[in-house]
Amino acid sequence: MSSVLVFHKGELMKRGFIRGLWGSFDVTNRLTARRFNVANDILNIKRNEFNEKFVTYIMGVENFKILNDLGIENLVLVDKEPFRFDLTAHQYRNKIEVIAHAFLNDGYGELVYLDWDCVPQKKLSNDFWTELGKRECFQANLQGYKKNKISWRQSENNIIPNGGFMYLRDKKISELAIKTWDKIGNPVNDECVWASITDDMVGGWKGREKYMDLFESMYSNLHRGSPFPREWLNKKDVYFIHYQGGRTRIPADFVNPKK
């Protein structure tokens, strides 16, 4: 099964892993060109021996056909079009839409969203979901960027939650993400939204150590870019690594098609 039923706040709800797929193969913009990276990442995930069952929420009939032809199971077509929000201006608003669909339409009570370049490293422990449920309703790896991504803090505007592995519990957080996107007004990506939400949950940014105590994912790491000391990261029981930031890989025969 791709998801299981659990009692959550007295209600029978689903929990499980989800991924998303949207966009089209377009080399004219660096954001749309990332669809080529995703195609390679999908093949890597398909071959991974430690995969847990997951549901993929898809925008675009062609994207659905690609995954179906690859033999990937548990596919949900969210929209026949390949995106609901412009891929250059609002690329990552589509990710929030996928997460909201899982909560609001498919009855999830808690889920882990995985980017395609977030790679399983070993089989899950039996207490994986129990331990996640003991911490905050949003958990993700903190990432440090070279440039500022947000502007509302007094400092460390370059340090925000990474969107590659995200644990979310309660449909209200997906509804809040949509409202927060609109409030920020065209954020760089969905990670800015999660930064705003987690900051607000503690009355403003309280620093890296506070984030580690409450929101840092204890079951995943970034392959690079974490602002935490290595000794902190080594204490985790890591089941997933997010290999983010790969260079776009476009097939030569696509760039220079044969006549």
Q: Is residue 93 part of a domain?
A: yes
Across 205-224, average pLDDT: 97
Compare 7 and 171 and report the one with higher pLDDT: 171
Q: Is residue 257 part of a domain?
A: no
pLDDT at 258 over 80: no
Q: Is residue 259 part of a domain?
A: no
What per-residue confidence (pLDDT) applies to 30?
83
Q: Which helix (DSSP H) or strand (DSSP E) does residue 46 occupy?
A: helix 30-47
Across 152-157, average pLDDT: 97
Which of helix, strand or coil describes residue 259?
coil
Q: Is residue 253 part of a domain?
A: no
Band (pLDDT 50/70/90 cuts) for residue 32 is confident
Cα–Cα distance for residue pair 31/95, rounded to 1 Å: 14
Q: Is residue 255 part of a domain?
A: no
Cα–Cα distance for residue pair 235/119, rounded to 1 Å: 19
Burial of 203 by CB count in 10 Å (0-12 exposed, 13-18 middle, 19+ buried)? exposed
Least confident span in 3-17, 79-93, 94-108, 130-144:
3-17
Compare 27 and 159 and report the one with higher pLDDT: 159
What per-residue confidence (pLDDT) applies to 110?
96
Quote the domain boundaries for residue 99: 3-246
Q: Is residue 37 part of a domain?
A: yes
Q: Is residue 79 part of a domain?
A: yes
Q: Is residue 162 part of a domain?
A: yes
Q: Dump pLDDT digits (tens) for 51-101.
A: 999 999 999 999 999 999 999 999 999 999 999 999 999 999 999 999 999
The domain tally of the chain equals 1
Q: Give 160's strand partners.
A: 143
Cα–Cα distance for residue pair 230/238, rounded to 1 Å: 13
What per-residue confidence (pLDDT) applies to 186?
82
DSSP symbol at 125: P
Band (pLDDT 50/70/90 cuts) for residue 29 is confident
Beta carbons of 21 and 91 less than 8 angstroms apart: no
Side by side, the strands of the sheet bearing 220-222 are: 118-120, 240-242, 220-222
Per the prediction, the chain carries an average pLDDT of 91
Q: Which helix (DSSP H) or strand (DSSP E) does residue 165 occupy?
A: strand 159-169
Token pair belonging to 154: 């007094």
Which CATH number do you get for residue 174?
Answer: 3.90.550
Q: Dump pLDDT digits (tens) for 155-200.
A: 999 999 999 999 999 999 999 999 999 999 889 899 999 999 999 9
- Helix spans in 77-218 (H): 93-104, 128-132, 171-184, 190-201, 208-214
Cα–Cα distance for residue pair 212/116, rounded to 1 Å: 24
What per-residue confidence (pLDDT) applies to 12?
57
Residues of the chain above pLDDT 70, percent: 90
What per-residue confidence (pLDDT) applies to 252?
37
Q: Give 112's strand partners.
A: 17, 167
